[in-house]
Structure 1
Amino acid sequence: MKRRAALQLLTALGISAGTLGAVPLRQLVDLALTAEPRRLDDWHLACVDHLHALRTRPAAQAREDLLVDLLALNRQLRTAPAVDRTELRRVEAALAMLHAHLLSRLGDHGAALRWWRTARTAADASTDLDLRLMVRCEEAGVGLYGQRDAGTVLALTHTAQRIAGDGPSFWKADLAGTRAKALTMLGQHDEANRALTSFVGYGGPDAPTSILPTLWVDDQAYFAQSWVHAGAGNEAAADTARDLVLSHPAARRQGGASPYAVNVQLHEALCTIVKGGTDRGVRQATTVLDTLPADYRTHLTTETGHMILQAIPHAQRQRPAVRDFRNVLTATAPKPALPQGT
């Protein structure tokens, strides 16, 4: 009976038993089906805890822990009184968003896209504008890492901006940062700089006040600057932005293996290549990836490596240093979880 109930819950959440990775089915049964209903403030705390896990723990481990709470939340939603249901839907939107983000880090893009949709649906049902924009900002930003093409990401930012309305908004500034990155990937560097200015220069009175109050970290603006300036070969500005990211306390997460810290080092390699130093740039990138602990290798760093490959002139892509980098990039890509028996 427990096994059947767990599978029903998994199906309701769009999760197949074969995609659970290292999580034993019986563990999900025990934890999800025997858990007592939680108070709303405990669920709010869980959202913040899972965000912290996403930032500080290996993605596979953080996802396993999050799955247990998603199952428990789904079960509680089925019997929750009407007075609690709207707030639980807000929790569902936040947790679904974090799950989509973790799936993206692990390179499971098909499942991630479904969970982005789940997060958007739950956020829209809550009628919480801040939450609706938060989910869409995260979806667009993460989409740049190989999950969607840059043009689709730009379309997502425009849709979110229409939802935000005409007035100045923190989230609209955040969307401008994502547009700047996407435009950089398309080689539209002047437009990217204009979008970046509206992101970095935003000084409005509002602040992100969502169910995840710790989501925004101020090094995100520096990270966007690093990305845009490196892509344009603006070495001095890219160096300044990278130093600001690496000096931020957030860069010391995971012993310096946070995606922000790793990726701005890859931005340095990208900038070197754009400036004409192919061999030196790919050697820099090879060292960064090769020294990254295996548990912290994610699709975010792998896809930044692919951006570096795309920046290499075609005539130089068969150079020995480039071949070595391509091999390391393949070897350090996160491996998808093998299907587990039921």
Structure 2
Amino acid sequence: MWHHTASHTLGGVMDGFGSTLRRHRTAAGLGLRGLAKQVHVDYSHLARVERGECRPTADLAQRCDTALNAAGALIDAYHREQASPDMHRRTILGAMGALAVAPVGPLIGLEALRHSLDPGRKQADEWDRIVADYGRDYYTLPAADLAEQLRADLTVLAHQIGASPADRDLMRVAAHLSAIMAMGLSAAGQHGMARRWWRTARNHADQSRDADCRVWVRDWEVVNGTYEQRPTAAILDRAGEAVAIAGSRVSVGHVGVLSGRAQALAVAGRVAEARDALAATAAMTDRMPAAVAADADSMFGWPEVRLRHTESFVYTHIGDVVAAAEAQERALDLYPAELGRERAQMLMHRASCLIQGGHVGDGLRFAADVLDALPAADHTALLYQVARTVVAVVPERERRRVEAVELRDRLTALPAG
């Protein structure tokens, strides 16, 4: 019979699970690989447990104790460590310290080192600040820079989640960053890879059990669904899922889902339903808290300009060019200078409306002027996809005109730089 007391550690020393495991393993004459085989875990994982870089499970502690005939010493060490108020911080710092010196990209190592050097900071608060920064950086950073920065932060975050797999705050952060990665991939035209990241974002959001996060992730997936050319039924199913989670809650995610639903219905030609969804979007916009409505340059705000952009999109696709023009005029008065790419997308709606109104040459030249005015670094696959909808509304008899051919050719590939 086992008596779980500190006297069962070799030499009676009360220390960490990793060092206790190492002593008993060494005393038993076993190498890491030999023990890993006996307890049916990967050798590299067991090595990280010994170094204190990740936490053992109760089951692993039991299996190691049995394999090494430790008479309960490893189970004691496991429970002591779980009870230690400092264990969580030390485990994370161990993981970050190892990552900081690992053979990874410079940004990843640098960010890991930064986390390791500031142990007094509450990690959830720091990650929330990082997420808030991305909410603005998404609109301003060149796509390549955003992707590299996200890769660095997600790598560091993955190691922290490995050390704290039940931390819901970290799951919420992972959901937000994964969704932003998915949006970046979608904007770059990598729709297949984006779908994988949307799935990851949803999974993390659901594990966080944060209703606002769960709805927000689905909001952006629904909005991007039309650009990713997903089936309308799939987009509407995701929107319905989000609305069910939101219930009567007024939030950025909820209004965003209504907006994305209106866009999907418009693209599908379901005019009456699109108008109803747009009216619901406007009604919820009126209920937004003042701070959210004033946040014009972040993915976590819902300013009036986002409603007007949605109206421009919907009215353009259903052919109501008068209502679209009104929405576009209002949006142009509201767009922050930092949101140049989004403003350019909306101006493509205006080009489409000109063509639908019979001004084919003017519309084609207007679209070309929009591209010329936008810095090359801000030209994205998403923008070009919106621009191709301009070419698509050119009447068949006009498609050989010089402006149409030039614009169509120009949209075959993104410019260098």
Contact kept, 8 Å, 1:101 with 1:112, in 2: the verdict is: yes
- How far residue 287 of structure 1 moved from its aligned partner, in angstroms, is 1.7
Contact kept, 8 Å, 1:230 with 1:270, in 2: the verdict is: yes
Of 203, 210, 213, the match for 1:131: 213
Counterpart check, 1:97 vs 2:191: no
Of 15, 36, 39, the match for 2:115: 36
Aligned sequence identity (%): 31
- How far residue 291 of structure 1 moved from its aligned partner, in angstroms, is 3.0
Of 168, 171, 195, the match for 2:277: 195
Amino acid of the structure 1 residue aligned with 2:311: Q
Equivalent residues in 2 for 1:288-299, closer than 5 Å: 288-299=370-381
Of 213, 219, 228, the match for 2:314: 228
Counterpart check, 1:267 vs 2:349: yes
Q: Report what 1:300 is aligned to.
A: 382
- How far residue 295 of structure 1 moved from its aligned partner, in angstroms, is 0.6
Q: Secondary structure at the match of 1:158?
A: helix
**Cα distance in 2, alignment partners of residues 292 and 151 from structure 1:** 34
Equivalent residues in 2 for 1:82-231, closer than 5 Å: 85-165=167-247, 167=248, 169-170=250-251, 171-202=253-284, 205=287, 207=289, 214-231=300-317
Of 379, 393, 398, the match for 1:316: 398
Contact kept, 8 Å, 2:188 with 2:381, in 1: the verdict is: yes
Equivalent residues in 2 for 1:26-65, closer than 5 Å: 26-28=105-107, 30-31=109-110, 33-37=112-116, 39-65=123-149
Contact kept, 8 Å, 1:289 with 1:329, in 2: the verdict is: no
Q: 1:191 to 1:80 in 2, by over 3 A?
A: closer
Amino acid of the structure 1 residue aligned with 2:222: A
**Cα distance in 1, alignment partners of residues 165 and 242 from structure 2:** 32
Q: 1:206 to 1:245 in 2, by over 3 A?
A: closer
**Cα distance in 2, alignment partners of residues 149 and 333 from structure 1:** 29
Amino acid of the structure 2 residue aligned with 1:320: V
**Cα distance in 2, alignment partners of residues 280 and 290 from structure 1:** 15
- How far residue 322 of structure 1 moved from its aligned partner, in angstroms, is 1.1
**Cα distance in 1, alignment partners of residues 128 and 361 from structure 2:** 49
Q: Secondary structure at the match of 1:148?
A: coil
User: What do residues 195-237 of structure 1 show as CA deviations (whole Å, max 9, x unaligned)?
Assistant: 111111226756598xx88343331101011112222333332
Tell me the TM-score normalised to structure 1 length. 0.80
- How far residue 137 of structure 1 moved from its aligned partner, in angstroms, is 0.5
Tell me the TM-score normalised to structure 2 length. 0.66
**Cα distance in 2, alignment partners of residues 77 and 168 from structure 1:** 29
Counterpart check, 1:253 vs 2:338: yes
The count of aligned residue pairs is 305
Contact kept, 8 Å, 2:108 with 2:156, in 1: the verdict is: no
Q: 1:188 to 1:312 in 2, by over 3 A?
A: farther
- How far residue 29 of structure 1 moved from its aligned partner, in angstroms, is 5.2
- How far residue 299 of structure 1 moved from its aligned partner, in angstroms, is 2.2
Q: 1:146 to 1:306 in 2, by over 3 A?
A: farther
Q: CA RMSD in A?
A: 2.8
User: What do residues 46-81 of structure 1 show as CA deviations (whole Å, max 9, x unaligned)?
Assistant: 001112111112122112111111111111112238
User: What do residues 10-66 of structure 1 show as CA deviations (whole Å, max 9, x unaligned)?
Assistant: xxxxxxxxxxxxxx9532553355443562211110001112111112122112111
Counterpart check, 1:75 vs 2:159: yes
Q: Which has the higher contact order (CA 8 A, sep 6+)?
A: 1
User: What do residues 102-155 of structure 1 show as CA deviations (whole Å, max 9, x unaligned)?
Assistant: 111122222211111111000001111111000000011012113424343223
- Range moving further from structure 2, 121-130 or 290-299: 290-299
Q: 1:334 to 1:301 in 2, by over 3 A?
A: farther
Consecutive unaligned residues in structure 1, runs of 5 or more? 6-23, 336-342
- Range moving further from structure 2, 132-141 or 105-114: 105-114
Q: Secondary structure at the match of 1:187?
A: coil
Consecutive unaligned residues in structure 2, runs of 5 or more? 1-43, 46-102, 293-297
Contact kept, 8 Å, 2:285 with 2:307, in 1: the verdict is: no
Amino acid of the structure 2 residue aligned with 1:253: E
**Cα distance in 2, alignment partners of residues 282 and 302 from structure 1:** 14
- Range moving further from structure 2, 29-38 or 281-290: 29-38
- How far residue 333 of structure 1 moved from its aligned partner, in angstroms, is 6.5
